[in-house]
Chain A
């Protein structure tokens, strides 16, 4: 288990079992719709809320790379990400340090946005975001 604050380098986005190669950041965002409940007995005029629909998205940024193996580990290249975008099926993702005892978040999602950016004499970048389908599961890595 990680005993200190998790280093962002180690918290990786896995897509169908492989990390996104040359990633510089990844994020998991969750949101919940709320419905305001107003009734005659609201204390002091304060609004109250009820939980409704939950959703999530995952964003990533990195450098454009054709490599399918980095540091002896299989990774998703930018071309792999296009294939995922082009397909109509959702992928399985996990957001994890892969360290025993740490919490892992996982689920299913569609790659809904993908951008490949190329500026003159700079490293080309790839970014995108997944839109979740279904629930997020939270487990502790055994």
Chain B
């Protein structure tokens, strides 16, 4: 969904990475990390209660990191995506941590948790 989003790609040029960015990846870029998969138990077995994942927007200046995180939110908040397996999922924005500066890496980072669940 992020790679297909024009607004975001205008900012990060396709640099959307799962889990870890390649060494010396050019900023800005976006990292996606699945945090948790939830299930609920029934007498017939477990059913899905959705997934939680973090999206980290990373840039070398504060205004760019904010622009990237806004684009991520626009791309993912309350959006429905058809999966190859036939199910649809809806993603939604959950929260946001303020932009923090990493002295070691010398970049700004905004982490946004999202939730996704199967929908019809």
Residues in A lying within 8 Å of B, measured CB to CB? 8-10, 12, 19, 21-24, 26, 62-63, 70-71, 75, 121, 123
**CB-based nearest A residue for B42:** A22
- Interface size of B in residues (CB-CB distance below 8 Å): 13
- Chain B residues near A123: list those with CB within 8 A: 40, 47, 49
Contact A24 B41 (CB under 8 A): yes
What separation, in Å, do the CA atoms of A27 and B46 have in the docked complex?
A: 20
What separation, in Å, do the CA atoms of A75 and B47 have in the docked complex?
A: 16
Is B15 an interface residue, CB under 8 A from the partner? no
Contact A19 B92 (CB under 8 A): no
- Chain B residues near A22: list those with CB within 8 A: 42-44, 47
Is B66 an interface residue, CB under 8 A from the partner? no
What separation, in Å, do the CA atoms of A9 and B117 have in the docked complex?
A: 25
What separation, in Å, do the CA atoms of A21 and B43 have in the docked complex?
A: 8
What separation, in Å, do the CA atoms of A134 and B47 have in the docked complex?
A: 36
Is B22 an interface residue, CB under 8 A from the partner? no
Q: From known contacts A121-B92, A121-B115, A123-B49, infer whether A12 and B40 are also in contact, taking CB-CB under 8 Å.
A: no
One digit per residue, 1 when the CB lies within 8 angstroms of any chain A CB and 0 when it does not, for chain B 43-67 equals 1110101100000000000000000
Contact A70 B44 (CB under 8 A): yes
Contact B43 A12 (CB under 8 A): yes
What separation, in Å, do the CA atoms of A134 and B42 have in the docked complex?
A: 30
- B68 shortest CB reach to chain A, Å: 25
- Chain A residues near B40: list those with CB within 8 A: 24, 63, 123
What separation, in Å, do the CA atoms of A17 and B45 have in the docked complex?
A: 20
Which of the residues A8, A21, A26, A121 comes within 8 Å of B44, measured between beta carbons?
A21
Contact A9 B43 (CB under 8 A): yes
Q: From known contacts A121-B115, A121-B117, A123-B49, infer whether A75 and B92 are also in contact, taking CB-CB under 8 Å.
A: no
- Chain A residues near B43: list those with CB within 8 A: 8-10, 12, 19, 22-24, 26, 62
**CB-based nearest A residue for B116:** A121
